[in-house]
């Protein structure tokens, strides 16, 4: 038996071979970590920002309509960012970072720098004028997570068992780390047992 960083004894074996206990690993392109979703969200922001930079010639081309540029951004850039967002645990800090990344992307498309002293609300208004009403990035992440939660609670598989399951013992003293399921009551105002 070995002790992991949380103080739990673990001796997990697969095909007779002992598995190591790690604090972070990558599975299907998503980072799973003890620290929560921040180690996954920050690289996604970096990847989306890099994708925006690579498409600079498109964003600067005056022959392409703004509505087309925004559709391209949503399909080429935001899809990179949104990969596996259903598994994220959102905090106030990650919410701010997501909103800031989206605003940087929109400003890039519109050719507006922060030195132009144009408010974020004005940037959103210009975007709405070009494309009509649309969902902001943070709302998309929340909608996808809620949809995933709905699928899990209606199913009868392993994911539901894990979501509803508990571990023996109590949580540590002090402020608790936010869990995946903590976002649901925050957004809906309902307790977890009340949905479904």
Mapping DSSP to helix (H, G, I), strand (E, B) and coil, where does residue 9 land?
strand
- Smallest CA-to-CA distance from 187 within 149, 138, 142 is with 142
| C-alpha span between 121 and 142 (Å, rounded) | 21
pLDDT in tens, 4-35: 555 555 677 888 888 888 888 787 777 777 77
DSSP symbols for 139-175: HHHHHHHHHHHHHHHH--SHHHHHHH---SS-PPSSS
Are 21 and 2 in contact by the 8 Å Cβ rule? The answer is yes
Q: Say which residue, 24 or 53, is predicted with more confidence.
A: 53
Instruction: Choose the weakest-confidence range: 74-88, 104-118, 174-188.
Output: 174-188
The CA dihedral of 32, 35, 41, 44, to the nearest 10 degrees, is -50
| C-alpha span between 8 and 64 (Å, rounded) | 57
Instruction: Read off the pTM.
Output: 0.78
| C-alpha span between 190 and 101 (Å, rounded) | 30
Which residues are paired to 33 by β-bridges? 24
User: Model confidence at 167, in pLDDT bands (50, 70, 90)?
Assistant: low
């Amino acid at each position: 038996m070995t002790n992991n960083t949380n103080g739990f004894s673990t001796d997990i074996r697969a095909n007779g071979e002992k598995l190591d206990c790690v604090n972070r690993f990558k599975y299907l392109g998503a980072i799973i970590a003890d620290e929560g979703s921040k180690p996954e969200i920050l690289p996604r922001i970096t990847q989306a920002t890099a994708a925006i930079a690579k498409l600079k010639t498109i964003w600067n081309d005056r022959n392409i309509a703004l509505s087309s540029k925004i559709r391209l951004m949503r399909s080429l850039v935001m899809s990179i960012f949104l990969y596996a967002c259903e598994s994220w645990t959102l905090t106030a800090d990650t919410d701010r970072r997501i909103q800031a990344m989206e605003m940087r992307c929109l400003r890039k498309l519109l050719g507006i720098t922060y030195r132009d002293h144009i408010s974020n609300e004005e940037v959103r208004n210009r975007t709405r004028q070009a494309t009509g009403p649309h969902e902001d990035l943070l709302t998309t992440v929340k909608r996808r997570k809620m949809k995933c939660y709905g699928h899990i609670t209606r199913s009868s598989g392993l994911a539901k068992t894990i979501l509803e399951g508990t571990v023996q013992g109590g949580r540590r003293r002090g402020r608790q780390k936010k869990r995946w399921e903590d976002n649901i009551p925050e957004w809906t105002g309902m307790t977890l047992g009340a949905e479904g």
